[in-house]
Amino acid sequence: MRLPRVEDIEKRIPRPEDFTARSRGPATTARVGTALGIAFGICFLTGLWSHFQYSSPGWLPIGPNPAWLYRVTQGTHVATGIASVPLLLVKLWSVYPRFFLRPPKARRDQLLDVLERASIGVLVAAAIFQLTSGLLNIVQWYPWEFSFRRTHEAVAWVAIGALLVHIAVKLPVIREGLGASVEDETPVHSDGPSRRAVLRGVTVASGLALVLTVGQTVPFLRKVSVFGVRDGGGPQDLPVNRTARAAGATRAASDPAFVLQLKAGGRSMSLTRDELAKLPQRTHRLPIACVEGWSRNAVWTGVAVQDLIALVGAPSGSTVIVRSMQTRGAFRTSELPGDFVDDPRTLLALELNGEPLSLDHGYPCRIIAPNRPGVLQTKWVRELEVRT
Amino acid sequence: MRLVRGLLLLTGLGFGLWGVWLMRDFTSEQLVSMGTFLAGGVLLHDAVIAPVTVLLGVVAARLLPGRTRSVAAIAFLVWATLTVAFVNVLSGQGGKPDNDTVLHRPYGLSWVVMTALIAAIAATVAYRRRRIAGPPRSR
């Protein structure tokens, strides 16, 4: 008995011709790929937008209008990501035989082959990474050591970069594929599904993935979205992202001796919750829109932040630093830019949907402002300081 | 066309390098974790998901009568890709014990119902096609 030689092993590895499904090929790949490319483009742009909303750069001041903006961009980001999963899987299936292409004979072609494979390797790795990390993040499952926010952003640039390189390399094939008919040539090898059937199948799967989850941000689909992470319910009819216990705020927030500190330059003032409740109250309907892709409208009642800072003599368009009682978590302090303070809908809310805030929604008082990521709607507020 | 491709290539390289630049202050622990997920995803797809799918295709081609194969393949496409898309809520992981506004739906049950519905629709379609098409050609 002799040991198998390299050639013997090579013979056992399948070749692209061994895959007989007639529905594969550039006409299928180009169509699914175009849809996937558009989906990734939407995810990339809405993702960048979300980073801008977290910390608005000087050249792009993001204001409170329209109030629903972040709700729409971030809902779209997560929904598009979920709908991309069937597209990515079918796209990879359609080109899987090419994984077994043998390297070309000529030296120069070999180098190009290695470069192309490397770029596709980066693209596939980054694409799977983005969808996986996003899907896990929306269920608050973090089985990794990296920072989700920063890594999801960095790998997004790599993914879109590799995608652009891939389009550049494949452009002639893509054009030919999109030009080619979806109707099959005479089936030769197999009686599997037609191209048209595969394209319809992936459209249905992608649409179902969307409809069965998007109810967490589209109210009339709440009942239909049985695979949504949230169903829109919760205490006072609003979901909670971080409970008082998880934020380490329970003790301070339930202390009856609570007073809110107001500071502006040299002036300061303390107000009890009863005193806050005696100030002129405003009621507004505003959404909570979370980075995890769920959102929900609610009716908030409280004191306008601009009215509060007027008590310590600060002008309406001032920037306000908000400090929370929470002892855990990265967003214990937030900054309300002047544009938001200037908007009378920006409240220090005391009530939610007609009842005093529950502990998990930020009792004794919380910030609610139009068009802000949920995590910046600081709960359990203990101090407002006007930046001078 | 050459110009467009050249611009796409350069922009792509620029984007990719910017992405790598954004990782410049990641700790080695974070980089290793990120690398594991990047490589793990490719490995999971190329070495597990794709071969298993091919294998199932081969088995189905032997077991199923010719006319039902197409329907079975599309039903599998829809079922399998949806299962992967919902694996996060089906995993039983994530959420927080003190927060019942996250992940408190009966996802397993929904998945069983989804599976049954897809199977039932596929069976109905396959049955009706058989009747319309008459008996198979090969006898």
CATH number at residue A314: 3.90.420.10
Q: Which residue of B29, B93, B99 is in closest CB contact with A240?
A: B99
> What is residue B114's three-state secondary structure?
helix
* Mean pLDDT lowest among A190-199, B26-35, B79-88: A190-199
Asked if residue B74 and residue B46 are part of one domain, the reply reads no
Whether A325 is in a domain gets the answer yes
The pLDDT assigned to B96 comes to 86
Identify whether residues B57 and B95 lie together within a single domain: no
CB contact residues (below 8 A), chain B span 7-36, against chain A: 8-9, 11-20, 22-23, 26, 29-34
Same domain for A203 and A253?
no
Would you state the pLDDT for residue A260? Answer: 97
- Domain annotation covers residue B19: no
Q: What's the average model confidence in pLDDT over B25-42?
A: 98
- Nearest-Cα residue of chain B relative to residue A124: B42
Gap between the Cα atoms of A199 and A207, Å rounded: 12
Is the pLDDT assigned to residue B135 strictly greater than 90?
Answer: no
Distance CA A8, CA A2 (A): 11
Residue A32 in any domain: the answer is: yes
What is the per-residue pLDDT for B132?
A: 64
The two three-digit tokens of residue A157, written as one number? 């640039």
Q: Pick from A146, A204, A209: which is nearest to B33 by CB?
A: A146
Angle (CA) A14-B59-A10 rounded to 5° is: 15
- For residue A236, being part of any structural domain is answered with no
Same domain, yes or no, for B96 and B111? yes
Quick one: which of A328, A354, A352, A340 has its CA closest to A384?
A340
Indicate if the pLDDT at residue B48 is higher than 90. Answer: yes
Contact list, B98 vs chain A (CB under 8 Å): 243, 245-246
Residues A211 and A262 in one domain: no
* Shared-domain flag, residues B69 and B58: no
Domain CATH number, residue A155: 1.20.950
The reported pLDDT for the residue numbered A284 is 98
3-state secondary structure of A388: coil
Tally C-beta pairs within 8 A across A and B: 230
Instruction: Tell me whether residue A3 is in a domain.
Output: no
Kindly state whether residues A210 and A304 are assigned to the same domain. Answer: no
Do B40 and B55 sit in the same domain of this protein? yes
User: Cβ contact (<8 Å) for A135 and B87?
Assistant: yes
The 3-state DSSP composition of chain A as helix, strand, coil percent (nearest 5) reads 50, 15, 35
The alpha-carbon gap from B13 to the nearest alpha carbon of chain A, in Å, equals 6
Report the number of distinct structural domains present in chain B. Answer: 2
Question: Which residue is associated with the tokens 């990734």?
Answer: A40
The phi and psi torsions of A259 (rounded to 5 degrees) equal -135, 145
Q: Tell me: do B132 and B86 sit in the same domain.
A: yes
Domain shared by A201 and A55, yes or no: yes
d(CA A156, CA A137): 15
Number of domains, chain A: 2
Mutation target for A interface from B43, B44, B58, B82: give the one with most A CBs within 10 A: B82
Is B3's Cβ below 8 Å from some Cβ in A? no
Domain assignment of residue B35, yes or no: yes
Residues of chain B numbered 77-116 and touching chain A (CB < 8 Å): 77-78, 80-82, 84-89, 91, 93-96, 98-99, 101-105, 107, 110
Are B93 and B77 in a shared domain?
Answer: yes
CA angle A169–A152–A167, rounded 5-degree value: 10
Instruction: Say whether both A249 and A313 belong to one domain.
Output: yes
What is the arithmetic mean of pLDDT over B53-81? 93
B30: nearest CB among A86, A96, A147: A147
Same domain? For A136 and A263 the reply is no
Domain span including residue B128: 65-139
Q: Which of these, B54, B45, B16, lies nearest to A125 by C-alpha position?
A: B45
Residues B59 and B82 placed together within one structural domain of the fold? no
Is residue B16 domain-resident?
A: no
- DSSP letters of A87-125? HHHHHHHHHGGGGGPPPPSSHHHHHHHHHHHHHHHHHHH
| Residues A22 and A134 placed together within one structural domain of the fold | yes
Q: How many CA atoms lie within 13 A of A206 on its CB side?
A: 21
* CB neighbours of residue A188 within 10 Å: 8
Cβ atoms of residues A154 and B19 within 8 Å: yes
Count Cβ neighbours within 10 Å for each residue of A223-240 and write b for 16 or more, e otherwise. Answer: eebbbbbbbbebbbebbb
Task: For B45-111, give the secondary structure using H, E and C.
Answer: HHHHHHHHHHHHHHHHHHHCCHHHHHHHHHHHHHHHHHHHHCHHHHCCCCCECCECCCCCCCHHHHH
Contact A230, B94 (CB under 8 A): no
Residue B48 in domain: yes
Residue A266 lies in a domain: yes
CA A76 to chain centre: 8
Q: For residue A240, give the nearest of B20, B77, B101 by CB distance.
A: B101
What are the residues whose beta carbons fall under 8 Å from the beta carbon of B107, sequence distance 6 or more?
A226, A227, B86, B89, B90
Residue B12 lies in a domain: no
Q: Is residue B7 part of a domain?
A: no
Is the domain of A179 the same as that of A311?
Answer: no
User: Do B71 and B136 belong together in one domain?
Assistant: yes
Distance CA A68, CA A217 (A): 11
Last residue of a domain, one of B40, B63, B86: B63
Residues A32 and A177 in one domain: yes
Of A139, A160, A235, the CB nearest to B15: A160
In DSSP notation, A164-220 reads: HHHHHHHHHHHHHHHHS-SS-----S-----HHHHHHHHHHHHHHHHHTTGGGTSGG
Query: Helix, strand or coil for residue B121?
Result: helix
Do A205 and A253 fall into the same domain? no
Same domain, B73 and B109: yes
Pair A185, A173: CB distance under 8 Å:
no
Interface probe with A: pick from B32, B42, B109, most Cβ of A within 10 Å: B42
Residues B93 and B127 in one domain: yes
Does the residue B114 lie in any domain?
A: yes
Among A159, A189, A221, give the residue marking a domain's end: A221
Decide if A240 touches B, using CB distance below 8 A: yes
pLDDT of A388 reads 81
A78 touches chain B (CB under 8 A): no
In terms of domains, do A56 and A169 share one? yes
Q: What is the pLDDT of residue B139?
A: 40
Domain membership of residue A227 (yes or no) is: no
Domain assignment present for A315? yes
Decide the pairing of beta strands A381-386 and A259-264. Answer: parallel
> A60-91 as b/e, with b when 16 or more CB fall inside 10 Å?
eebebeebbbbbbbbbbbbbbbbbbbbbbbbb
Indicate whether B81 and B124 sit together in one domain: yes
DSSP code of residue A361: G
Amino acid at A314: A
pLDDT of residue B134: 55
For every residue of A16-62, DSSP letters joined together read GGG---TT-SHHHHHHHHHHHHHHHHHHHHHHHHHHHHHS--TTS--
Residues of chain A with pLDDT under 50: 188-189
Distance from CA of A226 to the nearest CA of B (A): 7
Q: Range of A345's domain?
A: 244-386
A364 in a domain, yes or no? yes
State the smallest CA–CA distance between residue A139 and chain B in angstroms. 5
Asked if residue A52 lies in contact with residue A24, where contact means CB atoms within 8 angstroms, the answer is: no
More confident of the two residues A113 and B139: A113
Specify the range with the lowest mean pLDDT, choosing from A226-230, B107-111, B128-132. B128-132
The predicted structure's pLDDT at residue A58: 84
- In this structure, the answer to whether residues A65 and A101 fall within a common structural domain is yes
Q: What is the pLDDT of residue B138?
A: 47
Does a structural domain hold residue B14?
Answer: no
